[in-house]
Amino acid sequence: MFILPWQAPYDWAWMFDFLAGRTVEGVERFDFQTYTRSFSLDGHHGLMRATPDLSTQTLVVTLSDGLLPVKERCLQRLEQLFDLRCEPQQVSAALGELAAARPGLRLPGCVDAFEQGVRAILGQLVSVAMAARLTSRVAKAYGTPLEEAPEFICFPTPQQLVVADPLALKALGMPLKRAESLIHLAQAAISGELPLLPPRDVEAAMKTLQTFPGIGRWTANYYALRGWQAKDVFLPDDYLIKQRFPGMTPAQIRRYAERWQPWRSYALLHIWYSDGFQPG
- Non-local (6+) Cβ contacts of 138 within 8 A are 118, 122, 156, 161, 169, 172, 182
CB 227 within 8 A of CB 240: no
263 shares its domain with 176: no
Question: 262 preceded by cis ω (within 30°)?
Answer: yes
Can you give the CATH number for the domain in which 53 is found?
3.30.310.20
Residue-wise pLDDT for 113-123, tens only, equals 999 999 999 99
Q: Beta strands 28-31 and 58-63: pairing type?
A: unpaired
95 and 28 both lie in a single domain: yes
3-class state of residue 42 by DSSP: coil
pLDDT tops 90 at residue 50: yes
- pTM score, whole prediction: 0.94
> What are the tens digits of pLDDT across the range 72-127?
999 999 999 999 999 999 999 999 999 999 999 999 999 999 999 999 999 998 99
* Domain of 244, in residue numbers: 232-280
- Residue 238 sits in the same domain as residue 211: no
Identify whether residues 44 and 147 lie together within a single domain: no
Instruction: Give the domain-ending residue among 99, 123, 142.
Output: 99
Residue 105 lies in a domain: no
Position 47, amino acid: L
| DSSP annotation of 200 | S
Distances (CA, A) of 278 to 100, 242, 252, 266: 14, 11, 15, 16
Distance CA 163, CA 22 (A): 26
DSSP tag of 265? H
Give 264's pLDDT tier (boundaries 50, 70, 90). very high
Indicate whether 163 and 139 sit together in one domain: yes
Residue 101 is given by DSSP the state S
The pLDDT assigned to 155 comes to: 98
Residue 276 is given by DSSP the state: T
Specify whether 200 is located in the same domain as 239: no
CA dist 4 and 76 (Å) reads: 9
Active site residue 238: yes
Paired with 35 in beta bridges are 30, 50
End position of a domain, from candidates 206, 227, 248: 227
182 and 133 co-located in one domain:
yes
Same domain membership, residue 29 and residue 86: yes
The catalytic residue among 83, 165, 238, 275 is 238
CA distance 240 to 258: 18
